[in-house]
Amino acid sequence: MVVKCKRCGVNNAEIYLAHSNLRLCPDCFMLLTERKVKHAVETYKMISKDDNIGIAVSGGKDSSSLAYILSKSFEKIPITLIHIDLGIPNYSQHCLEKVKELSKIIDRELVVYSLEKELGFKIPDFKATIYGKKMCSACGAIKRYLFNKITYDLGLTKIATGHNLDDTVEALFNSYVEGNVGALVRLRPFLPKTHPKMMPKIKPLIGLTDMECLIYAEYRNLPIRSLGCQFSESSRTIRRKRLLNLLAENMPNFKHTFISSHFRRLLPCLETALKDHETKIYECPNCGMPTSLEGVPCHFCKIVSIVLEKKDKHASEAG
C-alpha cells in the first residue's frame, strides 16, 4: 500500500519519523529538516546579522548537512568551511575530496589545516604513544583546540559544529551516569565567549537525529565520506549510541524528551548550584591560548609535545 506524505498529501511518503509519528515525502522531509535547524538557531539565538561564521567540516553526514543548511538558510551571513587534514592514510585524502566538493557546491570558501604541514605529525603517530589506546580522545582534543584557534586566527566570530541530537543524548547520558556535573553544564547548544580567545560555539543540528542528518545528506546528494576512520570503529561512543537507540525504539520520544528536560529543568538547577564555583581560565605559557590549568602547558601543547618527542626518538633511532 502506498502511503501519501502527511504534510503535502500529494507525493508518496518515503520516510517514517517514529519520534513524531510522521510519514513524509523527500521534499517535505528536507523542508522540515531545514526548519528544525532554523528553529534551533532562533531559539538559542545562535546567529546574529553581523556574524562571520566558521563551520567545522569533516566530510561526514552531519557537518556537510550543517554547512549546506546554514549556507542556504543564512545566505547573507559570511561562512567559511574549516577542515583539518588529520593525515590518516586513505581516510583523510577521501575526506578532503568530499569537503572540497562541498565547498564548490555551496560556493563558500574552504580553509584546510594540515596537521603534518603545520605541526609535523599525523594522527596515526599517536599509536606509538601513551595515547595508543585512546586515539579518539587525543584526536578529539586536537580538533577542539584547533577549530577554536583557527576561528580566532581567521578573525571569525563563531564556530559551528555538526553535533546532533544523538551525539548530545549520548554525551548527556554518559555525564549523568558518571555524575560529571561540569561536563553537563558545558554541554550547551550555544556556548558563549568566556575568554577573548575562546570563541563562541554553536550546535545548530542539536534537534536532528543521526538518521535525519544521513537521510538529508543523501536526498540533497551532498558529497559525504563513504570510508570510516580505521581507529574509531569500536569506540565506546558508538557502542553507547547503539544502546540508546534500543531505548528509543521502545520509547520513541526518549531522546527528544530527555534533551528538552535537561535544558529546561535540570540545567538551570545545575547552573544555580555551580554559580559560585566558576572555573578560572588561564593562558597557556606555551601557546597563549585559554586553558583551565595554571602555570603549566595546556592539554593540547602537552599531547603535541608527547607525539613529537616520540617521533623524534623514532627518527633518531632509525637514523
Q: In the complex, which residues of this chain contact a second copy (CB under 8 A)? A: 176-181, 239-240, 243, 246-247, 250-251, 254, 257-258, 260-262, 264-266, 268-270, 272-274
The CA distances from residue 151 to 81, 160, 161, in Å, are 10, 10, 12
Least distance (Å) from a second copy to the CB of residue 255?
A: 10
261/305 with CB nearer a second copy: 261
153/271 with CB nearer a second copy: 271
Least distance (Å) from a second copy to the CB of residue 180?
A: 8
Least distance (Å) from a second copy to the CB of residue 192?
A: 21
CA distance 265 to 134: 34
Cell digits of residue 4: 501519501
Least distance (Å) from a second copy to the CB of residue 134?
A: 18
User: What dihedral do alpha carbons 298, 304, 309, 311 form, nearest 10°?
Assistant: 170
250/316 with CB nearer a second copy: 250
Instruction: Convert 288-306 to b/e letters by CB count within 10 Å (16 or more is b).
Output: ebbbeeeeebbbbbebbeb
Q: Is 243 helix (H, G, I), strand (E, B) or coil?
A: helix
Cell digits of residue 54: 566558521
Chain position carrying cell 563562541: 200
68/173 with CB nearer a second copy: 173
- 8 Å CB contact between 62 and 162: yes
52/180 with CB nearer a second copy: 180
Least distance (Å) from a second copy to the CB of residue 253?
A: 9
